[in-house]
Amino acid sequence: MSVLPPLSFDSLRCELTETFLSFSGYSLGEAETRECVYYNDNWRSERTNQSGFERCEGEKDKRLHCYASWLNSSGTIKLVKKGCWLDDFNCYDRQECVSMEENPQVFFCCCEGNYCNERFTHLPDLIGSGNRGEWQMHRIDSKDLFFPTMFLFIFIFSVQDPGPAPPSPLVGLKPLQLLEIKARGRFGCVWKAQLMNEYVAVKIFPVQDKQSWQNERDIFLTPGMRHENILRYIAAEKHGANMETELWLITEFHERGSLTDHLKGNTVTWTELCHIAETMSRGLAYLHEDIPSYKGEGPKPTIAHRDFKSKNVLLRDDLAAVIGDFGLAVRFEPGKPPGDTHGQVGTRRYMAPEVLEGAINFQRDSFLRIDMYAMGLVLWELVSRCSDTDGTVGEYMLPFEDEIGQHPSLEDLQDVVVHKKMRPVIKDSWLKHPGLSHMCETIEECWDHDAEARLSAGCVEERIGQISRTIGSTTSDSPISLVTSLINEDLPPKESST
């Protein structure tokens, strides 16, 4: 009887590791991925091709992969999606597309190498976890086997924690991949993520902020909340259990980020200022509007934002404004109480004087006027960074930053805003520009100390549009003729938000 030579532990480990990794879809080297097989079962509703090939593109120094996702209903396989997948260490060095989960709702696999997702396999982990751990090998003597010339090695995966893997949940059967944190705020962080071929934003709330997540989700789900200047909602999900629960809110993603981000790094021209201001006021006017039912949906109620500020205004690529962050928003539906409307909420710096002194009239119009005060401050931020003035444009500053610094207390703001009735400084150089001078008048009417005297969002939108069209259509370079033409134009009158 021939006997196999004994193997050292290290050589045995290498041999078994290589065998298993090959069997389970791993390989021991990176394969470049440039194209993947493409398929979309929802191609009609998403207006894409049904099948074909997809060219993979990503950031420099990031690896690219292919993926597939499918359903298994009583042995019947239904393909859902195939395509390119961005850098994910769970896919590294896997040349075959193999799903390792025991019994997922939707099967998902990823791999490296051109068209490696053409075929896909479900291979549940041998001992449960799917984590790559240390091999524990037990050698069984040949005399105990039916085939005496062979050795049988039983290997067991020991469960070790390799560190947190990026979660890849499925939104409506579409794989979602977190990429990078873009912002941190009061209620958690915002990630840039990839949902199939689309970048999305994922706002992750800790479980203790469930109320804010739930409120924002409910606001987004309000009938009629689809508008070009309101952030587009995609989905809300829960992940994890107990105190480790995370609450996700998934919306469209805007690479430019917030208006705050943009103004920190850029000045704006007069034309850009008008475009941002008009679309921003249009979004807020729509939010404030009470719209009867249409297109089969119920009526859209009036919604007050209650945390309006430049950080909650996002910018599209064309600089159109999009309003987001509705964690503190409140709806005013006929015959229903408006819900939690306690007074001092929002960001201190943007609080209206009546909020700072705790003298709010808890009526619909009172909350809309509070938004309009904040709108005045945001318009001031825009004007302060406009490059079309005689003077030099200063560094970006928050409202009241020059007066009371970056971290004012409630008492600081009460003293400045309520008692001294101060507002951010309007510079003389701004008033020399015919358009900016009228913009400054609008700003002052938004942040009026008398809440009932403030403009409505609809009036602001109309005024800015009128100013923009008048200045834009004037060909003369003379400031006098510009001012004259603007005065002769009938501007919308001052009105309150009632």
Catalytically active residues, by annotation: 307
Contact residues for 455 (Cβ-Cβ < 8 A; gap 6+): 372, 442, 445, 446, 463, 494, 495, 496, 497
Beta strand pairing call for 302-304 and 330-332: antiparallel
Closest CA relative to residue 107, chosen from 96, 89, 118, 123: 123
What are the beta bridge partners of residue 73?
Answer: 76
The most distant pair of C-alpha atoms in the chain lies apart, rounded to whole Å, by 111
CA–CA dist 392, 466 (Å, integer): 27
- The full length of the chain comes to 498
